[in-house]
Protein backbone atom coordinates (compact mmCIF):
# COMPACT_ATOMS: atom_id res chain seq x y z
CA UNK A 1 0.00 0.00 0.00
CA UNK A 2 1.10 3.57 -0.72
CA UNK A 3 0.40 6.57 1.51
CA UNK A 4 0.49 10.05 0.03
CA UNK A 5 0.44 13.14 2.23
CA UNK A 6 0.26 16.32 0.23
CA UNK A 7 -1.44 19.09 -1.67
CA UNK A 8 -4.60 19.35 -3.74
CA UNK A 9 -4.87 22.34 -6.06
CA UNK A 10 -7.03 23.46 -8.92
CA UNK A 11 -4.73 24.26 -11.84
CA UNK A 12 -5.60 27.35 -13.89
CA UNK A 13 -3.65 26.77 -17.10
CA UNK A 14 -3.04 29.44 -19.74
CA UNK A 15 -1.42 28.27 -22.97
CA UNK A 16 0.81 30.86 -24.65
CA UNK A 17 3.08 31.04 -27.67
CA UNK A 18 6.15 31.99 -25.60
CA UNK A 19 6.63 32.78 -21.93
CA UNK A 20 5.58 36.30 -20.98
CA UNK A 21 8.50 38.64 -20.25
CA UNK A 22 8.53 41.10 -17.30
CA UNK A 23 6.39 44.12 -18.19
CA UNK A 24 4.88 42.37 -21.22
CA UNK A 25 1.20 41.64 -21.85
CA UNK A 26 0.19 38.97 -24.32
CA UNK A 27 -3.00 37.17 -25.27
CA UNK A 28 -3.38 33.63 -24.03
CA UNK A 29 -4.21 30.94 -26.55
CA UNK A 30 -6.38 28.83 -24.26
CA UNK A 31 -7.59 28.78 -20.64
CA UNK A 32 -8.32 25.49 -18.85
CA UNK A 33 -9.08 24.34 -15.32
CA UNK A 34 -7.77 20.97 -14.14
CA UNK A 35 -7.52 19.09 -10.85
CA UNK A 36 -3.91 19.18 -9.67
CA UNK A 37 -1.49 19.67 -6.79
CA UNK A 38 1.67 17.61 -6.44
CA UNK A 39 0.21 15.38 -3.74
CA UNK A 40 -3.01 14.74 -5.63
CA UNK A 41 -1.18 14.17 -8.91
CA UNK A 42 1.05 11.52 -7.35
CA UNK A 43 -1.83 9.87 -5.49
CA UNK A 44 -4.09 9.78 -8.55
CA UNK A 45 -1.26 8.38 -10.68
CA UNK A 46 -0.55 5.53 -8.28
CA UNK A 47 -4.28 4.80 -7.89
CA UNK A 48 -4.94 4.94 -11.65
CA UNK A 49 -2.12 2.47 -12.29
CA UNK A 50 -3.66 -0.06 -9.92
CA UNK A 51 -2.05 0.87 -6.61
CA UNK A 52 -3.72 0.66 -3.20
CA UNK A 53 -3.50 4.29 -2.05
CA UNK A 54 -4.45 6.34 1.01
CA UNK A 55 -4.27 10.08 0.29
CA UNK A 56 -4.29 12.57 3.16
CA UNK A 57 -5.03 16.13 2.00
CA UNK A 58 -6.81 19.33 3.04
CA UNK A 59 -9.50 20.94 0.89
CA UNK A 60 -11.03 24.37 1.39
CA UNK A 61 -14.53 25.84 1.47
CA UNK A 62 -14.98 27.14 -2.08
CA UNK A 63 -16.01 25.91 -5.52
CA UNK A 64 -12.48 24.78 -6.32
CA UNK A 65 -12.55 22.53 -3.25
CA UNK A 66 -15.88 21.04 -4.35
CA UNK A 67 -14.36 20.26 -7.75
CA UNK A 68 -11.36 18.53 -6.17
CA UNK A 69 -13.57 16.58 -3.75
CA UNK A 70 -15.69 15.23 -6.62
CA UNK A 71 -12.60 14.24 -8.59
CA UNK A 72 -10.95 12.40 -5.68
CA UNK A 73 -14.11 10.64 -4.52
CA UNK A 74 -14.80 9.46 -8.08
CA UNK A 75 -11.69 7.26 -7.95
CA UNK A 76 -12.03 6.20 -4.29
CA UNK A 77 -9.44 8.65 -2.91
CA UNK A 78 -11.86 10.55 -0.70
CA UNK A 79 -11.21 8.75 2.59
CA UNK A 80 -8.31 11.01 3.58
CA UNK A 81 -9.91 14.36 2.69
CA UNK A 82 -9.98 16.88 5.54
CA UNK A 83 -12.13 19.99 5.03
CA UNK A 84 -10.86 23.30 6.47
CA UNK A 85 -12.14 26.88 6.57
CA UNK A 86 -9.92 28.37 3.87
CA UNK A 87 -9.84 28.95 0.11
CA UNK A 88 -8.59 25.89 -1.73
CA UNK A 89 -5.07 25.68 -3.11
CA UNK A 90 -4.65 27.07 -6.62
CA UNK A 91 -1.82 26.85 -9.16
CA UNK A 92 -1.44 29.41 -11.95
CA UNK A 93 0.36 27.67 -14.82
CA UNK A 94 1.74 29.20 -17.99
CA UNK A 95 2.45 26.63 -20.72
CA UNK A 96 4.45 27.58 -23.83
CA UNK A 97 4.13 25.89 -27.23
CA UNK A 98 7.36 24.04 -26.46
CA UNK A 99 5.57 22.21 -23.63
CA UNK A 100 7.65 23.92 -20.94
CA UNK A 101 5.81 25.49 -18.03
CA UNK A 102 6.08 28.09 -15.28
CA UNK A 103 4.01 27.71 -12.12
CA UNK A 104 2.92 29.92 -9.21
CA UNK A 105 1.19 28.11 -6.34
CA UNK A 106 -1.16 29.66 -3.76
CA UNK A 107 -1.24 27.06 -0.95
CA UNK A 108 -4.62 27.92 0.56
CA UNK A 109 -6.05 24.93 2.43
CA UNK A 110 -2.81 22.99 1.93
CA UNK A 111 -1.17 25.20 4.54
CA UNK A 112 -3.57 23.78 7.14
CA UNK A 113 -2.32 20.19 6.82
CA UNK A 114 -0.76 19.96 10.27
CA UNK A 115 1.09 17.28 12.25
CA UNK A 116 -2.10 16.94 14.31
CA UNK A 117 -4.09 16.01 11.19
CA UNK A 118 -1.40 13.47 10.31
CA UNK A 119 -1.65 12.01 13.82
CA UNK A 120 -5.43 11.72 13.50
CA UNK A 121 -4.91 9.51 10.42
CA UNK A 122 -1.89 7.60 11.79
CA UNK A 123 -3.64 4.20 11.81
CA UNK A 124 -4.68 4.42 8.15
CA UNK A 125 -1.36 5.90 7.03
CA UNK A 126 0.84 3.30 8.66
CA UNK A 127 -0.87 0.47 6.83
CA UNK A 128 1.24 1.59 3.86
CA UNK A 129 4.75 0.38 3.06
CA UNK A 130 5.67 3.46 1.00
CA UNK A 131 5.15 7.16 1.78
CA UNK A 132 5.15 9.81 -0.96
CA UNK A 133 5.87 13.36 0.24
CA UNK A 134 6.29 16.68 -1.56
CA UNK A 135 6.89 20.26 -0.36
CA UNK A 136 3.52 21.94 -0.98
CA UNK A 137 2.30 21.49 2.60
CA UNK A 138 3.92 23.01 5.73
CA UNK A 139 7.46 21.68 5.99
CA UNK A 140 7.01 20.81 9.67
CA UNK A 141 4.25 18.41 8.61
CA UNK A 142 6.42 16.76 5.96
CA UNK A 143 9.23 16.39 8.50
CA UNK A 144 6.82 14.91 11.04
CA UNK A 145 5.49 12.40 8.51
CA UNK A 146 8.98 11.42 7.33
CA UNK A 147 10.07 10.72 10.93
CA UNK A 148 6.88 8.76 11.61
CA UNK A 149 7.33 6.46 8.61
CA UNK A 150 11.10 6.16 8.98
CA UNK A 151 10.78 5.01 12.59
CA UNK A 152 8.12 2.50 11.51
CA UNK A 153 10.55 0.98 9.00
CA UNK A 154 8.68 2.21 5.92
CA UNK A 155 10.10 3.57 2.64
CA UNK A 156 10.00 7.38 2.44
CA UNK A 157 10.16 9.02 -1.01
CA UNK A 158 10.50 12.81 -0.86
CA UNK A 159 9.96 15.14 -3.81
CA UNK A 160 11.62 18.46 -2.79
CA UNK A 161 9.36 20.62 -4.94
CA UNK A 162 9.13 23.49 -4.52
CA UNK A 163 12.67 23.46 -3.13
CA UNK A 164 12.57 26.65 -1.05
CA UNK A 165 12.68 26.57 2.76
CA UNK A 166 13.71 22.94 3.08
CA UNK A 167 15.46 22.06 6.33
CA UNK A 168 18.16 19.55 5.38
CA UNK A 169 17.47 17.62 8.59
CA UNK A 170 14.65 15.80 6.77
CA UNK A 171 17.19 13.96 4.60
CA UNK A 172 18.16 11.55 7.39
CA UNK A 173 14.59 10.20 7.28
CA UNK A 174 14.40 9.92 3.47
CA UNK A 175 15.07 6.69 1.57
CA UNK A 176 14.81 8.25 -1.90
CA UNK A 177 14.87 11.97 -2.72
CA UNK A 178 13.65 12.87 -6.24
CA UNK A 179 14.76 16.38 -7.27
CA UNK A 180 15.04 17.78 -10.75
CA UNK A 181 18.24 19.56 -11.76
CA UNK A 182 17.07 22.99 -10.54
CA UNK A 183 16.01 21.61 -7.17
CA UNK A 184 19.27 19.65 -6.87
CA UNK A 185 21.27 22.85 -7.39
CA UNK A 186 19.22 24.70 -4.78
CA UNK A 187 19.79 21.91 -2.25
CA UNK A 188 23.53 21.43 -2.84
CA UNK A 189 24.77 24.63 -4.50
CA UNK A 190 25.03 25.53 -8.19
CA UNK A 191 28.76 24.88 -8.64
CA UNK A 192 28.66 21.08 -8.45
CA UNK A 193 28.16 18.72 -11.38
CA UNK A 194 25.19 16.39 -11.02
CA UNK A 195 27.29 13.41 -9.88
CA UNK A 196 29.00 15.51 -7.19
CA UNK A 197 25.67 16.99 -6.11
CA UNK A 198 24.16 13.52 -5.74
CA UNK A 199 27.08 12.42 -3.55
CA UNK A 200 26.65 15.55 -1.45
CA UNK A 201 23.00 14.68 -0.80
CA UNK A 202 24.09 11.22 0.30
CA UNK A 203 26.59 12.84 2.65
CA UNK A 204 23.77 14.97 4.07
CA UNK A 205 22.01 11.78 5.16
CA UNK A 206 19.76 10.66 2.32
CA UNK A 207 19.99 6.97 1.40
CA UNK A 208 19.41 7.32 -2.35
CA UNK A 209 19.16 10.17 -4.86
CA UNK A 210 16.92 9.93 -7.92
CA UNK A 211 17.63 12.89 -10.19
CA UNK A 212 14.89 13.60 -12.74
CA UNK A 213 16.46 15.19 -15.83
CA UNK A 214 13.44 15.57 -18.11
CA UNK A 215 14.23 14.51 -21.67
CA UNK A 216 17.69 13.36 -20.50
CA UNK A 217 16.19 10.59 -18.37
CA UNK A 218 17.07 9.85 -14.75
CA UNK A 219 20.22 9.31 -12.71
CA UNK A 220 19.88 7.06 -9.65
CA UNK A 221 22.70 7.29 -7.12
CA UNK A 222 22.76 5.02 -4.09
CA UNK A 223 25.39 4.18 -1.51
CA UNK A 224 26.29 0.97 -3.33
CA UNK A 225 25.30 1.51 -6.99
CA UNK A 226 24.32 3.99 -9.66
CA UNK A 227 21.95 3.66 -12.60
CA UNK A 228 21.31 5.83 -15.66
CA UNK A 229 17.97 5.28 -17.37
CA UNK A 230 17.19 7.17 -20.60
CA UNK A 231 13.78 8.62 -21.24
CA UNK A 232 11.44 7.86 -24.15
CA UNK A 233 11.39 10.44 -26.94
CA UNK A 234 7.91 11.84 -27.55
CA UNK A 235 6.35 15.09 -28.80
CA UNK A 236 5.86 17.21 -25.68
CA UNK A 237 2.66 19.24 -25.31
CA UNK A 238 2.53 19.98 -21.57
CA UNK A 239 5.12 18.90 -18.98
CA UNK A 240 3.18 20.20 -15.95
CA UNK A 241 2.73 16.89 -14.14
CA UNK A 242 5.58 14.84 -15.59
CA UNK A 243 7.56 14.73 -12.35
CA UNK A 244 4.49 13.82 -10.32
CA UNK A 245 3.45 11.09 -12.74
CA UNK A 246 7.01 9.73 -12.54
CA UNK A 247 6.89 9.55 -8.73
CA UNK A 248 3.43 7.99 -8.61
CA UNK A 249 4.31 5.37 -11.21
CA UNK A 250 7.67 4.66 -9.58
CA UNK A 251 6.07 4.09 -6.16
CA UNK A 252 3.34 1.93 -7.71
CA UNK A 253 5.92 -0.31 -9.40
CA UNK A 254 8.02 -0.63 -6.25
CA UNK A 255 4.90 -1.44 -4.21
CA UNK A 256 4.20 -4.35 -6.58
CA UNK A 257 7.58 -5.77 -5.60
CA UNK A 258 9.25 -5.03 -8.95
CA UNK A 259 12.95 -4.30 -9.03
CA UNK A 260 14.52 -0.85 -9.05
CA UNK A 261 15.72 -0.89 -12.67
CA UNK A 262 12.34 -1.89 -14.09
CA UNK A 263 10.54 0.57 -11.82
CA UNK A 264 12.71 3.39 -13.17
CA UNK A 265 11.94 2.37 -16.77
CA UNK A 266 8.23 2.10 -15.97
CA UNK A 267 8.20 5.56 -14.38
CA UNK A 268 10.14 7.09 -17.29
CA UNK A 269 7.60 5.64 -19.73
CA UNK A 270 4.69 6.97 -17.66
CA UNK A 271 6.21 10.45 -17.48
CA UNK A 272 6.96 10.48 -21.21
CA UNK A 273 3.37 9.62 -22.08
CA UNK A 274 2.06 12.26 -19.67
CA UNK A 275 3.74 15.14 -21.52
CA UNK A 276 1.87 14.26 -24.72
CA UNK A 277 -1.44 15.49 -23.20
CA UNK A 278 -2.59 18.69 -21.55
CA UNK A 279 -3.53 18.98 -17.89
CA UNK A 280 -2.04 17.44 -14.79
CA UNK A 281 -4.24 14.53 -13.78
CA UNK A 282 -5.83 14.47 -17.23
CA UNK A 283 -2.42 13.50 -18.62
CA UNK A 284 -1.91 10.41 -16.46
CA UNK A 285 -1.51 7.42 -18.83
CA UNK A 286 -3.20 4.06 -18.51
CA UNK A 287 -1.11 1.13 -17.34
CA UNK A 288 -1.69 -0.70 -20.62
CA UNK A 289 -0.35 2.29 -22.57
CA UNK A 290 2.80 2.32 -20.44
CA UNK A 291 3.29 -1.39 -21.04
CA UNK A 292 2.74 -0.92 -24.78
CA UNK A 293 5.40 1.80 -24.91
CA UNK A 294 7.83 -0.39 -22.99
CA UNK A 295 7.15 -3.30 -25.36
CA UNK A 296 7.53 -1.10 -28.45
CA UNK A 297 10.92 0.13 -27.22
CA UNK A 298 12.18 -3.36 -26.43
CA UNK A 299 11.50 -3.63 -22.69
CA UNK A 300 9.70 -6.54 -21.09
CA UNK A 301 6.44 -6.03 -19.24
CA UNK A 302 6.11 -7.04 -15.60
CA UNK A 303 3.23 -9.35 -16.49
List, for residues 222-272, the tens digit of each pLDDT value: 998 999 999 888 888 877 789 999 999 999 999 999 999 999 999 999 999
Residue 265 lies in a domain: yes
Question: By C-alpha distance, which of 104, 155, 111 is closest to 8?
Answer: 111
Q: What is the CATH number of the domain that holds 196?
A: 3.40.1190.20
Domain assignment present for 32:
no
The rounded distance, in Å, linking the Cα atoms of 77 and 40 is 9
- Residue 17 domain flag: no
Give residue-wise pLDDT tens across range 165-205. 889 999 999 999 999 999 999 999 888 999 999 999 999 99
Number of structural domains found in the chain: 1
Q: Could you say which of 244, 255, 259, 289 is catalytic?
A: 244
The answer to whether 3 and 130 have CB atoms below 8 angstroms apart is: yes
Distance CA 73, CA 52 (A): 14
Res 300: pLDDT: 61
| 171 occurs within a structural domain | yes
244 among known catalytic residues = yes
211 is a domain residue: yes
In this prediction, residue 295 has a pLDDT band, given cuts at 50, 70 and 90, of: confident
Q: Which domain holds residue 258?
A: 2-8+37-86+108-296
Q: How far is CA 100 from CA 19, 94, 124, 275, in A?
A: 9, 8, 37, 10
Q: How far is CA 269 from CA 41, 135, 247, 284, 294, in A?
A: 16, 24, 12, 11, 7
Q: Which residue has the higher pLDDT, 20 or 127?
A: 127
The pLDDT tens digits of the residues spanning 95-104 come to: 898 888 888 8
CB 88 within 8 A of CB 68: yes
pLDDT score of 301 more than 70:
no
Amino acid sequence: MIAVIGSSNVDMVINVDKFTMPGQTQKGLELSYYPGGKGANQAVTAKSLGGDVFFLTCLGNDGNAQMMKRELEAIDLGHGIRLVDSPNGVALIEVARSGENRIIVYPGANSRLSPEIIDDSRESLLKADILLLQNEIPFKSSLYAAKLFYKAGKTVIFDPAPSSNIDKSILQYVDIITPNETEMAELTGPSLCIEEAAVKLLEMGCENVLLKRGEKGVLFTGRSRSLVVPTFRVKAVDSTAAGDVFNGAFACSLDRGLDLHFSLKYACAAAALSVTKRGAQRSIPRSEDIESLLFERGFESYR
